[in-house]
Structure 1
């Protein structure tokens, strides 16, 4: 007993006496921690430290506060923003003819360019004090989405000046003189901006850009001034062919220390008039046939005053940090808006087409194979809208959540790719014939553009989401890294000691809780609501706890190698991403007042997100290098097996039926889809045919019933069948007239464009279908 008491006393002394604990236990762990820390380049560190954490931090904590989620204000347009949507945006949509823009002119009509500038479409984010609209992020997103449902080329043209570029950089970092010089012109459309970042030798690895700027003295306006001599070559630059002002990113050096003590400040941003000597606006690219302006910019031996550095000379070398912090607009607003528009368009038009188009005597939407694809379109569109609103709303709260916006960029563009692909499958031949009647073709062609820009999706998923999320969102890791980097070793050791103690307790809690939740099916987890969505909150809490557990195991076991184990880190990122998007779905359902009609869409979206979480975890356990640790994680997360599956067929059929019936649910799901009133507008043609065919469904049932009873023949041409129906008193003459009108509208809706038989289609107008 004495020996046991002495042994336990020794353990307690080691654990409880700070100096002894730090000397015997913490110091060796601290040394190991420093050793396994992944090496970070300057650009990686700046990217890691840029932006804020938000709801992603709660999800990474293992214990998300759902009441906090519900308390986030519902994003909404102001009166001015709604007026702009109802008037200027609607007028713009009526002006756009996407076939003419893309296939005939390869440019927006001049009157559209003028209207965009005159009505402030290029100044959505510029303050009113400089002549801009000063709209919110949710308004910016909504406007771009509405335009994208009509024309991707027009949407990209509006999107870029209101995204990463001179306007946003000036507002955040520009000197007052720079703001006064440029923002009024940008607001009125007198100045057209582009931002030149990507070059032939550096895309996603912006830290490796070869474009150079050397601080030196030179002549400007007849005087010798301190400035920068630039040499650069840029490509893929949107709006470059029409730009009047070029934002430029380059690698700056200051060999003579003319603007500071640092002789190699690093990546820097400057703003340069396009007509400045040495600037060459190069030739135009052709981005998959879309008509937005995109091209090259070059500069050789270009001298600019140091005052043209955005923010002035004191911001030299801070360009990468500036760019990363401002990427939220592109990743969190613009590209998600394009993807959301594709979902709205695909849902509304595919539902209509599936009801209008007949095969084997039935609307194709009644076939289960088509319904499966339609359910995916509807469920993903609901999720797209939920994530769009929640992410833009976060930006309006004054946050800059870098991980959340990366999640939105990657997953929303991928979901956009899926819904447009499904819509094309269902439209089949109707979808692949380009012409004025095709409302899907250009969206399909444009999907790879969204996938590629603002960081290619492969990079975003495999390096950014978890790479940033694991350190930024984890409650202790970033602070532990700061402790390890502390220049005072003793102080760093004390900080690390405190953090590690809390971290160990955090990890132990996660391990026990994950196992308990897995064994009990999360039934004892609290939820902020009762009813049909309660279990989703409980399961998300469980998966949040499991993510925290597996992230700790992965970082502990793999250390710096986790940075190179991209497939492992990508799967952990997928879990975090689907936790975020599923949260957005639940909040969207609550914000809309728990609409009963939306439940099939909610069930589809939640089952899909949970099944993707299960798939990501299973892939992690299957491929984790340390098999013993993989087994421990699997037992803790799925002690009874992975039970996350896709939603039942019955719910998928409900979603498909929702898209095939005029209703407030369908209108709410697709409210950003443009439907034209013009007689020749393709969306209007399809919508009118859909409504007409839906209104005669009772008359069609009369005919079917008469055919089954033998009162009418089963297989007759439609004209003869309708005549027989009148003769047999199955239908009245007025009812036949209503059917004839509906069938004529349906034939027009399913028609495709035809052109003269010629070697070239260039310059041809579409011909009416011979039938």
Structure 2
């Protein structure tokens, strides 16, 4: 009897594990009853009673009309009571873009073969040449110090070159005169410029991300495309997009800027349009824009749009010279000198022909913005922040190699290696996410959740990288001047945290808020069918949901009992990384289970539980980061030299996921759910990278080699003839040869023939002269040492200024350059 009863547990467990259909469950129970009868464990009466229960259950669950009437109808009523109704704006936000790898992670059973089969991002020969030639030259023409201290803008020569070479129209198809570049090429260009000058990167990325060109390409009328796209591609028009309102932030759904449908006079004729009043701020490129994309809330009190029309958020394209448009003075965001400022308008009449897409798109602006925002979030901020991180890692790695203290490079100290490892490891992870997001866009995907994760986590990791860099270089990073490679990045890193959705909002609302509904295989259908009272579809989704829940519960329990040992790694993946695939699959199952149990117990209040949704979102985010790291290692040919970076990034992602999991259990509003999750998640925690791994990672960025080259690929090439700031990088290039000479002289140093090379670099040339006099080195080697000493000393020194910090000199240079080479730009602010 005990064996017969006990045999039921593994049967139920297996059926739940594979999410078996109702008829399979019934057949299994029938076989179990028959076995009990055959073995004499139960009599005929008991067997018949059990069979009757199975028959009734089968009838109730397998006959869908009956199931819908008896079970699903009351369930739909209860579901409607606990789940909040989605407003049209919320529905548009949820449905914007599509789902991709994020849905696999959310479903609890990721198909790793699908991810690994995604083509690696690649540049075409034309795109590669543009990156190597035009982008490199624009970087040469730009630098943060000149932009901030002299021009308070991108230098005029850089502006002229950017417009002439098509940087402002990279995403515009060639048929309209644009470059027609891929998302990955767009990302690579912004990344390279960000390793040199933030003003250059922002000035290029804004016209190519969320803005008029993007909206026109997807929604504009043929006439609008034919007029504006060629002008935008040539830089004849400079675009900006005015979304952010002082009382609504970037939440277009809450915009208070209003346009009333009315009739007015435009170009001598009466026409239908809007009377719009607005206040916008934080609008990048606004001070120099010639054409303004504007989002506002349309209302139609007189029904002029026709019966059944539902006005709402609408996007229009307005020329700068349009009557009533007022471009305000400039904002000054943390000494970042890209053009940014407010725009105002009061009772401005805008004809219907200026609506992007024409009258048919009135009220569709929210959906337009949500669908296009994925591209902007996936490219602009991840690319620019990876660029700043590459600048910090590359230059600081060089600096700690050539900078000595106590007769050894400061990068050899364990206390320094710890932040160096964080810098390199976070850069590897962030760049992996950037590459994966761009690859998704080039495959035709618009993964809104992936783009939100990329925006939030890449900018947060860039903040860690730059802060650690500042700690390492100390006073060198604090003292401003043309020789400081880090200060402007340090000042400006918070900008990325706040724009395109502040990171707090992105973490607590967007990542999980959209992910829980859009990525879940059943929740969105349940919500739609509940609102639409579609019982048949609700019934199918409900019982799919129940099976999904029990499947993940069974999987989680099985993984807890076996420690995840039974989870298969994907065939063909790097075997040394198999444990990370297994850990990610287990966390994926736990995320799916925790989400379902949280939605079931917290219900509609879940979207107000920012701490809870933030931690669930952290789990999803770390799984995406880990996936990106594993995918990148495969894409780059499994380079063995990169394994320390891969291990560090993977272990860090798992440690962060473990931290989110522990916080979730400790703070979950349902202690029953927390207890159950604690049982099935037993042993899931992972420690972060250890000191030995950190030392290995720190060593990679302090010496030349393929791992460092791949980590910093796509950066601007520092050259002394372009900018003295390159002294650190050029000295680092010479450093291996100087080290080789020192190693060769070690026996002579030990014998006392010549002293150890001095730590003070100004004395190094004299030491080299003594070594040459003793015949220990030749003239070429002495010249090499002298050149290294000069550059390394220049790298270590900091800038100083006259009493007015050179303000008068800078103004004079600006005035002289303006007279010598006037640069005319339509609509440029004085």
| TM-score normalised over the length of structure 2 | 0.88
> SS where residue 304 of structure 1 aligns?
strand
1:652 aligns to what?
694
Going from structure 1 to structure 2, the CA distance change for 1:740 and 1:113 (only over 3 Å counts) comes to: closer
Q: 2:703 matched to which residue of 1?
A: 661
State which of 433, 448, 451 in structure 2 corresponds to 1:387: 433
Alpha-carbon contact 1:693-1:746 (below 8 Å) kept: no
Determine if contact 2:430/2:457 at 8 Å carries over to the other structure: no
Structure 1 residue 289 displacement after superposition: 1.1
Structure 2 CA distance, aligned partners of 1:97 and 1:495?
Answer: 59
Q: Given the alignment, which residue of 343, 351, 361 partners 1:315?
A: 361
Q: Is the 8 A contact 1:755 1:764 kept in 2?
A: no
Aligned partners of 2:517, 2:353: CA distance in 1, in Å?
A: 36
Counterpart contact for 1:675–1:683, Cα < 8 Å: no
- The 8 Å contact of residues 674 and 683 in structure 1, kept in 2 or not, is answered as no
Counterpart of 1:629 in structure 2 is: 673
1:115 aligns with 2:161: yes
Deviations 1:288-340 (A, max 9, x none): 11111001111111111111111101111110110010002220011110011
Give the corresponding residue for 2:19.
none
Instruction: After TM superposition, list the pairs within 5 Å mapping 1:252-651 onto structure 2.
Output: 252-262=298-308, 265-486=311-532, 489=533, 492-528=534-570, 529-637=573-681, 639=682, 641-651=683-693
Deviates more, 1:598-607 or 1:493-502: 493-502
Q: Give the Cα separation in 2 of the matches to 1:184 and 1:255.
A: 37
RMSD: 2.0
Q: In structure 2, how many angstroms separate the alpha carbons of the residues matched to 1:312 and 1:723?
A: 77
**Structure 1 residue 45, shift from structure 2 partner:** 1.6
Give deviations 1:250-285, integer Å, cap 9, x for gaps. 010112222232565111000011001111111111
SS of alignment partner, residue 77 of structure 1: coil
Q: How many positions carry a matched residue from both structures?
A: 759
**Structure of higher CA gyration radius:** 2
Give the Cα–Cα distance (whole angstroms) in 1 for the partners of residues 50 and 388 of structure 2. Answer: 70
Are 1:679 and 1:685, in contact at CA under 8 Å, matched by a contact in 2?
no
Deviates more, 1:737-746 or 1:663-672: 737-746
In 2: Cα distance, 1:25 partner to 1:444 partner: 59
Deviation at 1:737? 4.5
1:131 and 1:187 in contact (8 A); partners too: yes
Q: Distance in 2 between matches of 1:702 and 1:69?
A: 50
Give CA-to-partner distance per residue, 1:218-268, whole Å, 9 cap, x none. 111111111111111111111110011111000101122222325651110
* 1:195 matches 2:241: yes
Name the CA shift for 1:562/1:715 in 2 (closer, same or farther; >3 Å): same
User: Once the 2 structures are TM-superposed, how far is the Cα of residue 726 of structure 1 from its aligned partner?
Assistant: 6.0
Residue in 1 aligned with 2:68? 22
How far 1:400 sits from its partner (Å)?
A: 0.8
- How far apart, CA to CA, are the structure 2 residues paired with 1:726 and 1:143? 46
1:444-487: CA deviation from partner (whole Å, max 9, x where unpaired) = 1111111111111111000000100011111111111122122x
Give, in whole Å, the separation in 2 of the partners of 1:100 and 1:702.
43
Task: Tell me the equivalent position of 1:769.
Answer: none
Q: Secondary structure at the match of 1:290?
A: coil
| Equivalence for 2:820 | none
What CA distance in whole angstroms lies between the structure 2 residues aligned with 1:693 and 1:530?
Answer: 35
Matches within 5 A, 1:186-225: 186-225=232-271
Structure 2 counterpart of 1:233:
279
Give TM-score, length-normalised by structure 1.
0.95
Q: Point out where structure 2 has 5 or more consecutive residues left out of the alignment.
A: 1-45, 812-830
Pairwise CA distance, 1:10: 3.9
Is 1:62–1:547's contact at 8 Å kept on the other side of the alignment?
Answer: yes
Quick check: 473-482 or 2-11, which moved more? 2-11
Q: How does 1:115-134 map to 2 (within 5 A)?
A: 115-134=161-180
Deviates more, 1:12-21 or 1:730-739: 730-739
Counterpart Cα distance in 2 of 1:352 and 1:597: 19
CA-to-aligned-CA distance 1:592-651 (integer Å, 9 cap, x gap): 1100111111001100111111111111101001111101011112x2x34311122112
Residue 76 of structure 1 and its aligned partner are, at CA, apart by: 0.7
Residue 4 of structure 1 and its aligned partner are, at CA, apart by 4.6
1:484-505 per-position Cα deviation (integer Å, ceiling 9, x unaligned): 122xx4xx22222222222211
> What is the CA–CA distance in structure 2 between the aligned matches of 1:369 and 1:37, rounded to whole Å?
51
- Find the residue that maps to 1:234 and give its secondary structure: strand
Q: Is the 8 A contact 2:400 2:702 kept in 1?
A: yes
Residue from 668, 681, 686 that aligns with 2:728: 686
Contact 2:283-2:342 at 8 Å conserved across structures: yes
Determine the C-alpha separation between the residues in 1 that align with 2:768 and 2:230.
65
